[in-house]
Structure 1
Amino acid sequence: MKTLTAVMGLLIAICLGGCWNNIDLTETRFVTAVGIDLNEEGRYVLTVNVMKPSSGKADAGGSSGKSTIIQSTGYTIFDAARNMIEYSGYKLSYHHMQYLAIGTEAAKKDIIGPLDLFFRDQELSGRHWVLYVEGKAESLLRTKGNTNDIQPLKINEQMIASRSVGKYPPVRSLDLMRMLATKEKVGYIPISHPFKSLKESREAGAVIIKDGKAVSSINETQVRGLLWVTGKIKSTIVIVPLKKPGQYGSIEVLDSKAKIRPVLENNQLTIQITVHPHGIIGSLDHPIPMDSETYKWLQMKVNQIIKEEINAAVAIAKKNKADIFGFHDYVHRKYPKEWKVWEPQWPEHFSQLEVKVNVQSKLLLNGLLAEQLGEK
């Protein structure tokens, strides 16, 4: 009984005393963004955007709650992260990291290795964004946010908003881990292009990862083709050339679903992709008679454009022998016995794979248009 009482007393003391590893906020430095590069000696350069929590008073540097850029080098990222303490004077917290950027040279050498520390760190939830930067990742951290004074939060806002554009594939750390879990270590991450003025950056396109390395970039059209197939289009605008040259219609896609079905016939594997976009006529440059035939023609044009975008994405992926669509998962589930034979040479099989695309778009009618078409 005395032992039980002593244990309970100790637990109460711990609870009332707070967390055993509690650190005062004024003694904490929060990392909001991380950049990974290689220097001329082949060592990793770690750049971090660090924010000091505001105490309501300006610090010795004259700032309160402001961020600063700190750099360190190391033979590994873990080594560089520990060396960071020497420059910051504090053990940094990565709990609130918004994004992790990796520069061109580091990404071409290896992506998995440098990111391994951030995959393993139990402090992180895997929800921070991962980006590829053309040139030095450091340059992205040094850009300024025009829409948000805190640049890492600006990038976070752009990643979330990109879902309404459909030309840029936001990828979180956890998503990337799942993609690279394949034998071929295939995936993709978005590209950021910092402007030379360092006042802003533009996020456009993506880079294909194969064997854990960046191998090829894909443009915005190919990215949207990838997103159509993977069912990640939440909203986007499809520009349709009208019958009269120089005139265009804007079709707003409100939702899209995709179905991927592998078919094996006569020992020949085919991937059948069916995409079902739903949308509305957003605007027309020139008023045109909206009859049933024109309405069907617009749907046909949308189908054609989306099919071309998907074929463009498939072509660049096959050229790099990188199954960024995850076709292997569907083949494995439907044909487990055959998959055992195909798996060792899947990149080669994928590059020769026949892919059939079927797009069945549906333009929803608003009340006025439905009445005009005699649908009411």
Structure 2
Amino acid sequence: MKRAIKNMVKHFSAHKKYFFLFLLFFPLFLAGCWNYRDLDQLSIVAGVGLDRSEKTGKIIVTAQMINPSALKSSGEKGSSPTPGPQSQTVRVAASSGDTVFQAVRNFVTHSSRRLYWAHMKVLVVGEKAAQEGIYPLLDFFARDHEVRPEIAIIVCHEEAGKIMQVPGGVEPVPALSLSENIQTSAQNGVAPSINLQEFLARLKSKTAAPIATHVEVFEETGIDGKKTKIIHTRGIAIFKGDRYQGEMESKETRGTMFVLGKVRTGIITFQYRGERGSFEILRSKSTITPTLQKGRLHVQVKITCEGNLGDQETVNFSQPAVIGTIEKLISQEIRFEVLSAWRHARDLNTDIFLFGEAVHRKYPREWPEWEARWDEIFPQIQVEVSVKTTLSEIGMVIQPFYQTR
């Protein structure tokens, strides 16, 4: 042992000058700007639309690119952008190719700047292109090292290229406005917020059905009579494998989001003795429990929801039983939305609720056999839904000021 230590010390002493030279020059190889590029050499992509040409079958990539000089000039106090190309906040350009990568490379015919993907927020796919298969359109973005996995996956009723040309309203960059709109819609249960990583994880699963946000373009008439185009969230876009199958609208969408435990807020209306009221959701939670009864799978979905009273017409809350009655009415509405979503998913035979994953966790031994037959098993599942609603606050008014009847 001592001889080995002596040999190590002797070896280090003989080569210590090389060791210190290595320490001296090694930091030169750690410089963080070896691949530095000026901003004027890049086109910063905020959003991308993907379509397929009906005539040629080629993939059309429409990129919404940020103009940094326009953002800077509009943000300067007392300055106004001068008319012309530099005053446009974003620039929209399209390119086509047999693959997404080829279409991206063909952008050099429009500009000498290379597309920069690190700040991309949304990836929009046209409905027709999604029906033919979405995975060939996503593979490039899953592989590229600049693309972040948090980008939102969206399916639009129209061509995706048209979505990229819709103004963002008060937001200077439309793609960023669309991203924020989806986040808000997801919290209200109006539409899901599914990023690239989540979509690909569902796509990789043999049982889970991929879902995405479904949007369309509407025309809105302003107070000046002018019509402007706005993007409206429709609900959930449902896939079977990588092919688009259909959509769910508002109430079915919220029912799905309740099952997935992703409803953070929103409004549920109810009727009590012919009068309407509004319940504001503050938080919700769900649990999915599969059981095997007489050889048939049962799934029990338990949902708890807590919220406040937003408004009502003539309800007198001085009677304690009234609160319990309203809680039951709200629970019935949530249960109706969940069961409506279940029936829609069952008809399409798409496991958008991730029931398969819950069954896999509960019955790992039986799962390999069931996984192979999941398309046969899923529509036969017996789903039971129970909802417990808690009305936490009714506000400062107990008795109505005025009786309308």
Partner of 1:25: 39
Pick one of 195, 204, 211 that aligns with 1:181.
Answer: 204
1:224 and 2:239 correspond: no
Preserved contact between residue 316 and residue 398 of structure 2 (Cα < 8 Å): no
Partner of 2:403: none
Partner of 1:170: 193
For 1:49-68, what aligned pairs fall within 5 Å after superposition?
A: 49-54=64-69, 62-63=85-86, 66-68=89-91
Pick one of 223, 232, 237 that aligns with 1:207.
Answer: 237
Matches of 2:324 and 2:290, distance apart in 1: 30
Pick one of 158, 166, 170 that aligns with 1:135.
Answer: 158
1:194 and 2:224 correspond: no
Preserved contact between residue 238 and residue 253 of structure 1 (Cα < 8 Å): yes
Say what the alpha-carbon RMSD is for the aligned residues.
2.4
Give the Å deviation of 1:288. 3.2
Matches of 2:186 and 2:318, distance apart in 1: 30
Q: Deviations over 1:322-376 (max 9, x none)?
A: 00000001111111222222111102211111100011111113685799xxxxx
Partner of 1:154: 177
Give the Å deviation of 1:109. 0.5
1:88 and 2:111 correspond: yes
Matches of 1:367 and 1:104, distance apart in 2: 45
Matches of 2:371 and 2:297, distance apart in 1: 13
Partner of 2:60: 45
- Unpaired runs of at least 5, structure 2: 1-15, 74-80, 220-226, 400-405
Partner of 2:311: 283
Which 4+ stretches in 1 moved above 2 angstroms?
A: 1-16, 52-62, 195-199, 285-290, 365-371
Matches of 2:136 and 2:85, distance apart in 1: 38
Pick one of 106, 109, 120 that aligns with 1:97.
Answer: 120
Pick one of 258, 263, 279 that aligns with 2:286.
Answer: 258
Partner of 1:319: 347
Greater shift, 200-209 or 100-109, is seen at: 200-209
| TM-score (normalised: structure 1) | 0.91
1:123 and 2:139 correspond: no
The 3-state SS of whatever aligns with 1:84 is: helix
Matches of 1:310 and 1:72, distance apart in 2: 42
Greater shift, 99-108 or 158-167, is seen at: 158-167
Matches of 1:282 and 1:139, distance apart in 2: 38
Specify the structure having the higher radius of gyration (Cα): 2
The 3-state SS of whatever aligns with 2:235 is: strand
For 1:321-360, what aligned pairs fall within 5 Å after superposition?
A: 321-360=349-388
Give the Å deviation of 1:250. 0.4
The 3-state SS of whatever aligns with 1:117 is: helix
Give the Å deviation of 1:9. 4.8
Matches of 1:132 and 1:198, distance apart in 2: 21
| TM-score (normalised: structure 2) | 0.85
Equivalent pairs, count: 369
- The 3 A distance-change label for structure 1 pair 325 and 32 is same
Give the Å deviation of 1:11. 3.6
Partner of 2:264: 234
- The 3 A distance-change label for structure 1 pair 367 and 193 is closer
Preserved contact between residue 85 and residue 92 of structure 1 (Cα < 8 Å): no
The 3-state SS of whatever aligns with 1:281 is: strand
Matches of 1:33 and 1:287, distance apart in 2: 48
- Unpaired runs of at least 5, structure 1: 372-376
Give the Å deviation of 1:86. 2.4
Partner of 2:101: 78
Preserved contact between residue 207 and residue 371 of structure 2 (Cα < 8 Å): no
Matches of 1:198 and 1:210, distance apart in 2: 35
Give the Å deviation of 1:95. 0.4
Matched AA of 1:233: V
Greater shift, 286-295 or 329-338, is seen at: 286-295
Q: Deviations over 1:103-156 (max 9, x none)?
A: 011100111120111112221221111110002001111001113121111112
Matched AA of 1:50: M
Matches of 2:163 and 2:23, distance apart in 1: 52
